[in-house]
Amino acid sequence: MPAEIAIRGPQRAAAALAFDESPDHVQSLQRGLAVIRVFDAEHAALTLSQVAARAGFARAVARRLLMTLEYLGYVARQGRQFSLTPRILELGFSYLSCLPVATLAQPFMEQVAHEIDESCSLAVLDAHDIVYVQRVAVRKVMTITLGIGARLPAFCTSMGRMLLAGLAEEDLESWLRGLRAQALTRFTLTERSELRTAVERARAQGYIYVEQELQEGLCSVAVPVRDERGNMVAALNAGMPFRVGARAHALKKVLPALRAGARNIERSLAGRPGNVASQGSTLSAAAR
């Protein structure tokens, strides 16, 4: 199976360390991105000292970076506190605009969500996480809010395991070696051998069902989305509340609807002029 969604675990870390010493490395760019990443839902507004501490930079360095980002319009200042501006969304939407599967998938995902009366999501793999690139929400079944750009651990999610099934053996082995899995519920698989078996099952059967591993009371089923060359470019899933008979319901009603939705997305991708063959390489670059 082609390794279009390439993951490098220990190799990635080693390459990063080597690149730090390369003449091609631009430290100021790396630091600027690090400052952007210190802001999140729990830290929406920060002082200069807080930014410096969270980024691990000297105050003078953090100050110059914040002033540059403010000049470019990515950061705003109110009193002593800094926060991101809506312009920061341009960075994420630049990626989405290069990802036709996310745009093309939405109407078909809406059909699936309407048919099964459950939320439908599309994700790609990025290192040890999945990243949501499209979502049609029907009801809230998780304690966290999910939307485009949300990240979840790949090892205990249905879309993550489905995407891992698209890796070549050597890439999967590397991914597993670099994994540091912690149980999120009493049902979470964390042993590498068990996870490999689950991924191999997903690869063999063309779908994966995961029950209460990410959050108790939640289960989900996922299927692959492939390009015209057969390379997996994304995973499509539906999440639902866990109840008695949840697995049977997921496989009998939800899975056929997901498979039909994935086929429709694939036909849409195949009918799109250009870029289909490059879709896998786009995700490969994002995964690295």
Instruction: Point out the domain boundary residue: 42, 68, 88.
Output: 88
pLDDT for 139: 73
Same structural domain, 58 and 194: no
- 17 within some domain: no
Dihedral angle sign, alpha carbons of residues 90, 280, 206, 106: positive
Same structural domain, 282 and 166: yes
pLDDT in tens, 150-176: 899 999 999 999 999 999 999 999 999
Same structural domain, 113 and 159: yes
Same structural domain, 242 and 135: yes
pLDDT for 102: 85
pLDDT in tens, 76-101: 999 999 999 989 888 877 777 677 88
3-state SS, residue 29: helix
Domain at 69, CATH number: 1.10.10.10
Instruction: Point out the domain boundary residue: 39, 65, 88.
Output: 88
| Sheet arrangement for strand 119-126 | 151-153, 129-136, 119-126, 232-241, 218-226, 208-211
Same structural domain, 33 and 103: no
Q: What is the mean pLDDT of residues 43-57?
A: 95
- 6 within some domain: no
Q: Which domain holds residue 31?
A: 24-88
Instruction: Point out the domain boundary residue: 88, 123, 138.
Output: 88
Same structural domain, 139 and 225: yes
Same structural domain, 81 and 107: no
Same structural domain, 66 and 105: no
Q: How many domains does the chain have?
A: 2
User: Quick check: 281 pLDDT over 50?
Assistant: no
- 3 within some domain: no
3-state SS, residue 235: strand
Q: What is the mean pLDDT of residues 23-29?
A: 87
C-alpha 79/C-alpha 217 separation (Å) is: 44
Mean pLDDT (the chain) is: 86
Same structural domain, 71 and 156: no
Same structural domain, 51 and 113: no
Same structural domain, 207 and 256: yes
- 57 within some domain: yes
Same structural domain, 107 and 66: no
pLDDT tier for residue 140 given thresholds of 50, 70 and 90 = low
pLDDT in tens, 215-232: 999 999 999 999 989 999
- 139 within some domain: yes
SS3 of the chain: helix, strand, coil, percent, to 5: 50, 20, 35
